Amino acid sequence: QYVLALPGWEKTKLTYRIVNYTPDMKQADVDTSIQKAFEIWSAVTPLTFSRVYEETADFYIVFVTGAHGNCPRRFDGPLGVLGHAFPPSDPFRGNVHLDDDENWTASLVQFNLMLVATHEIGHALGLAHSGDPRALMFPNYKLMEPIDFPLTQDDIDGIQAIYG
């Protein structure tokens, strides 16, 4: 009986750690933005995400710039790529890196952390980019109105194809 290599995580109870903070925002706003980003995905999947503080976690939210640690990818200074994350099939899975050469906000001013974090967490859960310009997994950042943007059906179809 072969084990199906699911493109997603093999468990539904997942944990995340906020490793460091950006100087652009109040720490409480970072906490809230990240929590909401995870909630968006847990609302449409059987997945749950709980925050841990010291021990190992499934997801690490890290603010970094340029070349960072042993990460195979590097950032490009202000603008350009805002973040990157690794799919569940990748040995770096769970790492969600945000480019701290960007200006991070909790408002409509770019770049809204919750928006970008939701996109990157979508990747970390196994989603690729979407062709739907309204989708959260669309490759280009654009501010969504209103700020409590809903997932599009395209995003929901994508994540439910993996976690059903």
| Interface with Zn ion (CB under 5 A) | 71, 73, 97
Q: Choose among ligand 7FY, Zn ion, none what residue 82 binds, the Cβ cut-off being 5 to 8 Å by kind.
A: ligand 7FY
Could you give the residue numbers annotated as active site? 120
Residue 111, preceding peptide bond in cis (omega within 30° of 0): yes
DSSP letters along 92-150, please?
TTTEEEEETTS--BSSSSS-BHHHHHHHHHHHHTT----S-TTSTT-SS----SSSSPP
Distance CA 145, CA 148 (A): 7
Nearer of residues 17 and 84 to ligand 7FY, judged by Cβ:
84
Q: Residue 115 phi/psi, 5° resolution?
A: -60, -50
Q: Residue 15 phi/psi, 5° resolution?
A: -125, 155
Q: Choose among Zn ion, ligand 7FY, none what residue 71 binds, the Cβ cut-off being 5 to 8 Å by kind.
A: Zn ion
Within 112-131, the residues that bind ligand 7FY by CB under 6 A are 115-116, 119-120, 123
Residue of 19, 44, 71, 81 that binds ligand 7FY (CB under 6 A) = 81
Nearer of residues 21 and 141 to ligand 7FY, judged by Cβ:
141
Q: Choose among ligand 7FY, Zn ion, none what residue 116 binds, the Cβ cut-off being 5 to 8 Å by kind.
A: ligand 7FY
